[in-house]
Amino acid sequence: MTQPTLAPHEAASALFNELTGHAPMGLWSAPGRVNLIGEHTDYNEGFVLPFAISHRTVAAVGLRDDGRIRVASTFAEEPVEVHLADLAQVFPTAPGSAPAVPEWAAYPLGVAWALLDGRSASGTGVDIAIASEVPVGAGLSSSAAIEGATASALNELWNLGLSAKELASIGRTAENEAVGAPTGIMDQTASMLGAPDAAIFLDCRLLDSELVPLGMAEAHLAILVIDTHVKHAHATGGYRDRRDACERGAAVMGVAALRDLSVADLARAAELMDDVTFRRVRHIVTENQRVLDTVAALRTHGARAIGDLLVASHASMRDDFEISVAELDTAVEAALAAGALGARMTGGGFGGAAIALVEAAAVDAVSDAVVAAFADAGFAEPHLFTVSPSAGARRNK
């Protein structure tokens, strides 16, 4: 298969041509995301503040007349093909059941399954070729980028007429029920609704969202991503354990979700639950408040005012939610020591990436300090790059 040495739109087009012998009907793309703050609050019906990044996944798509769907990717050796009518068998809904396809294929096929479920769609067959520049396993939501690009293409080609918000929900359904990853809706919302130079303030209970200007360029600031190369996976046990603990905590406190608790409720929570469950709850409750405080700071004082909130968020994830790893802690500590205004791990944890809010003129100096700290600790060299808040899913061609 074609290797992703080309730009993703070129690689997807080339792979589609290799697969079918002709050009695609169109190219659709969706971005990865960085979560500025608000980690694990989404499935607790709380608040998050992500933004879409310029790194994108591209789906080259064309219709076929046999009712089958074939998906191929530059990061997989072989395509996967099934009949649309068989998707319900590919994705059993019993808890703990695994899809009968490779995990990478479960994302686009899961989107097709979720789109067709309960809808009177035509079910016209499709070929889909995927290429991406979003790092996999880095906590930048490469999965939501695949889902967003696929959902945008099928929504148009199948004439479904769904909104961007509805397509975000489709992506979450695919991730939760087809792939089996118990995530919230933050990633898909950021990928579908992102806008240049803005973060998305999302209420994960009401699904209300609004854009919050970041003003990074105006403030001469940059967001530096530090990909540790420690791979993480949402479908594995650590993520599920944290979600289960949150549900236990909500049940103990008699609320529908931890979103319903305030910082003032934590004293009572400490009396009613074991230490581990309490610390999981404390992270969610304080993280929700940090999201609200970050939005207020951005609106009144700008991005330079949020550094301490990022640092407090990382400490909470490290100590209370216990989802950081040594490489992430080293990245944060080294960035701060080199002058970053704030830094935190981002994403689901257990690996992935950290972000640092830095002076634009200091990106190289902070990057060098992080690389040196990793070398001193005996870790593999991280991948560092800056990201800009960017537009969400769209048709490219």
Token pair recorded at residue 263: 């910082």
Q: Which residues of 248-266 are buried (b: 16+ CB within 10 A; e: fewer)?
A: bbbebbeeebbbbbeeeee
Cβ atoms < 10 Å from Cβ of 195: 16
Please state, in angstroms and as integers, the Cα–Cα distance from residue 327 to each residue in 374, 381, 382, following that order: 7, 10, 9
Q: Residues in the chain, how many? A: 397
Q: Are 42 and 186 in contact (CB under 8 A)?
A: yes
CA 275 to chain centre: 29
* Degrees, nearest 5: CA angle 74-392-384: 60
Identified catalytic residue from 127, 187, 227, 320: 187
Active site residue 197: no
The DSSP string of 139-177 is SS-HHHHHHHHHHHHHHHHTT----HHHHHHHHHHIIII
First to last CA, the chain: 23
SS3 of residue 356 by DSSP: strand
Q: Are 30 and 167 in contact (CB under 8 A)?
A: no
Angle between helices 142-157 and 164-173 (to 10 degrees): 120
Q: Are 53 and 140 in contact (CB under 8 A)?
A: yes
In 133-278 the beta strands, taken as DSSP E runs, fall at 198-203, 208-213, 221-227
Token pair recorded at residue 360: 């634009």
Cβ atoms < 10 Å from Cβ of 111: 30
Q: Which helix (H) or strand (E) holds 276?
A: helix 275-300
Residues designated as active site: 187
